[in-house]
Amino acid sequence: MQNININNISEMLSKDERILLIELAKNKTTNFTTLENNLKWEYAKISRNVLWLENKQIVKIFTKKTESYVLTKRGEEVITKGLPERRLFDYLLKNKNISLKSVGDIGLNEAECNIAIGILKKYNIINIENNMGAILIKLKSSDDSRIKAIEKLINLIKDNIKIDENKVKEVKEVLNRLVEKKIIDDKEIVMTDIGKKVYQIIKSENIDTIEIITSEILKNNSWKYKKFRKYDIKAPVPPMQLGRYHPLVNVMNMVMDAFIAMGFEEMEGPWVETAFWDMDSMFIPQDHPARDVQDTFYLNKYGKLPNAELVKKVKEIQENGYDTGSVGYQNKWDEETAKELLLRTHSTPSTFKSLYKGVNNPTKMFSIGRVFRNENLDKTHLAEFHQIEGFVLADDLNLRNLMGYLKEFYSLLGIKNIKFKPTYNPYTEPSMEVLYYHTHFKKWVEIANSGIFRPEALRPYNINANVLGWGLALERLAMIIYDIKDIREILGHECKIDFIQNYHYPKL
C-alpha cells in the first residue's frame, strides 16, 4: 500500500468521481439510497462511479444482509390507489352516511370493502346501523390520525427508509397484507485510508483538468495550460458488436483447408435427388430400412433416371450381382421405386455422380453440404445437418491406405488420437467407424464412417481402380470443438448472435 502513489490516483479521478468522493467524505459509511437522495444522480451512474472508486482502492463496499420490510403487490397497489379505509373515509367525509349497498360505487371490491369497514369500525370512526333491513354506515368521528400513521409507514417502506420495528408491530394487523419481511443486500460504502488521503488532496484542488481530448482543445491551445486527467487504464471497457463468420462456417473452412492440403478437389450436389442417385446407384438395396418414409423425406413426386444402360446394370447388380462375382441381393429391383424424389439423405450421390461423369485416375474429391433425415427435433437431432465427405480413387488402394488418409485428415484438424472399429455399410466393405478419444468425456466417441467401395457399387461406372471414402457430420465436429451440447446452438435461426460474435478460435 505504501507504494501506491496518492497523487497519481487523485489525478485519475473524473469530475463525477470527485463529486462522489467529496460526498462520501461527509460520513463514515454511506449507502446507495443516501447517495441517490443527496446527489440526485441515477442509480446506474452512482453504481458506475462507486465501482471506479473501488477499482482505484479509494472505497470498499461491504454487503450486509439485513432484514427489511418491503411492499407486497397489494401494498404497491395501495400506493397508487390509496388505502381502502382512506378511500371509504374520504367518501364518508363528503356524504356522512351511506348504505352498505352503495359502498361498491367508490370503486372498492368486496374484499376491500370488508377490510375498510372493519378497520374504520375498529378505529371507532364509523357506526353500522340497521335501518329496517337496510344497513347504513355512519361517520362518527373525523379523526383520521390512525390512518395517517399507516400511510406514513407505507411510504417510508416504499422509499426503503429504515423504520422502527416496534411501530410496525403496533399496527401489525392492518399492515399484514401490505408489507412483508425480506432479506436484502444492503451495500455500505466506506472510504479506505487511501481514499482519505486522496480526499485530502482533492478537496482543496481546483477541478479543471482535461477530460476527453478534442480537436477543439488542440485548436485553441488550451491543453498547454491544463492538466490531463489520468485515466484508469486498467478499468474494464464495455463490449462491442462486430461482424463475424458463423462458427460452423469456420469449422467448414478448417475442414476444407485440410482436404485441399491433402490434394482433394471440391464437388457439390443438389438437395432434391432421385432415390436412384441417393440409394440404388451405390448398391443400397430397395428394402433398406433407411429408405423408409420413417427416416427419409419423400416428396411424393417422380423424377427421371439417367441413361438406360446404367439403370440396367444397376438393376442386374442388385438382383444377381451381374458380372461382379457377387450374388447380389436376390431381390426384385423396381425402376419406379428408383424414380421417387427425396431430399438427399447423405452427400454420397455427389461422389457417385462424379464417378458417372468420369474422373481421372488418380482423383481425390470432397464435398461439404446439407443432408436431410426425417427426425423429431431435439438437442441432438435436427432434420438437416452438414455432411463432410471425401473419396480417393487410384490403383491399388487398400485398407492401410484408408487408415493413413483418415489419420492424416484428423491430424490436420487437430485430432491425433483415433482408432478404428469394423462396422457395416451397404456400399463399402471393409467398413470402419472412426473413434476419437474425447478428453472431456473421457471416452471413445464415434466421429466418422469410412470404407472401401464395394465392387458392386463401382461396377456400373466401369471403374477398375479402388475407391476409399469417408464421411462425417460437420455439426458433430463443431460441437466437439466449441463444447456445445445442443445442436440448435450451432445451426438454425435459434443460434445466439452473442455466440456467433464471441466464439473462440476453433481448436481441438
Partner 1 sequence: MTILEINRKRLKELINKELNINELEEIFFDMGMELDKYDKEMLYIDITPDRPDMLSDEGLARAIRYYLEIDKFKDYKFEDSGVEIFVDKKVEAVRPYIGAFIAKNLKMNKGKLNDIIETQEKLHGTFCRNRKSAAIGIYPLDKIMPPLYYTAESPNKISFKPLNTDIVMTGFEILEKHEKGIKYGFLLKNAKEYPLLIDSKKNILSMPPIINSGLIGKVDESTENVIVEVTGITESRVEQLINILSAMFADIGAKIYTIKTNYEKYIKVYPSMKQNSIELSNDYVKKVLGLNIELKEIEKLLARMGYKVTKINKEENKVELVVPFYRADVLHEIDIVDDIARAYKLSNIKPEIPAVSTFGNSLRKTKVTEFIRTLLVGMGFTEALTLALTNTKYQYDNMNIEAKDTKDIINIPEAKAKEINTIRTWILPELIRALKANESFGIPIKLFEINDVCAKDDRTETNYKNITKLSVIITNQQATFTDIKQILNMLMNILNVKYIVEEQIHSSFIEGRSGCINIKDKNNKEHKDIGIIGEISPNVLENFAWRYPIAAFEINIEPFINLI
Residue 405 in contact with partner 1, rule: CB under 8 A: yes
Residue 242 in contact with partner 1, rule: CB under 8 A: yes
Residue 243 in contact with partner 1, rule: CB under 8 A: yes
Please state the closest distance from residue 457 (CB atom) to partner 1, in A: 10
The DSSP H or E segment spanning 220 is helix 215-220
Q: Which of 12, 189, 355, 406 binds partner 1 (CB under 8 A)?
A: 406
Identify the sign of the CA torsion 150, 152, 156, 158: positive
**Window 408-447: contact mask with partner 1 (x via CB under 8 A):** x----------xxxxxx----xxxx---------------
Q: Which of 69, 322, 333, 372 binds partner 1 (CB under 8 A)?
A: 372
Interatomic CA distance for residues 71 and 80, integer angstroms: 12
Distances (CA, A) of 148 to 71, 82, 122, 143, 424: 17, 11, 15, 10, 85
Cell of 106: 367508490
Q: Within 382-401, which residues bind partner 1 (CB under 8 A)?
A: 382-384, 392, 394, 396-401
Q: Within 253-282, which residues bind partner 1 (CB under 8 A)?
A: 253, 256, 259-268, 270-274, 277
Neighbours of 300 (CB within 10 A): 8
Residue 159 in contact with partner 1, rule: CB under 8 A: no
The DSSP H or E segment spanning 137 is strand 134-139
**Window 484-503: contact mask with partner 1 (x via CB under 8 A):** -------xxxxxxxx-xx--
Cell of 150: 399507516
Please state the closest distance from residue 481 (CB atom) to partner 1, in A: 15
Extended beta strands in 267-338, E state = 272-274, 298-302
Distances (CA, A) of 495 to 381, 386, 500: 15, 16, 8
**Closest CB to partner 1 among residues 18, 353:** 353
Interatomic CA distance for residues 353 and 296, integer angstroms: 20
Q: Within 336-355, which residues bind partner 1 (CB under 8 A)?
A: 341, 343
471 contacts 346 by C-beta, under 8 angstroms: yes
**Closest CB to partner 1 among residues 193, 408:** 408
**Closest CB to partner 1 among residues 169, 485:** 485
- Side chain identity at 128, as an amino acid letter? I
80 contacts 90 by C-beta, under 8 angstroms: no
Please state the closest distance from residue 322 (CB atom) to partner 1, in A: 11
- Side chain identity at 175, as an amino acid letter? L
Count interface residues toward partner 1 (CB under 8 A): 101
**Closest CB to partner 1 among residues 173, 378:** 378
Segment near partner 1 (CB under 8 A); pick from 9-17, 23-31, 41-49, 406-414? 406-414
- Burial group, residue 154, by CB count within 10 angstroms (0-12, 13-18, 19+): buried
Residue 11 in contact with partner 1, rule: CB under 8 A: no
Please state the closest distance from residue 253 (CB atom) to partner 1, in A: 8
Q: Which of 133, 236, 238, 289 binds partner 1 (CB under 8 A)?
A: 289
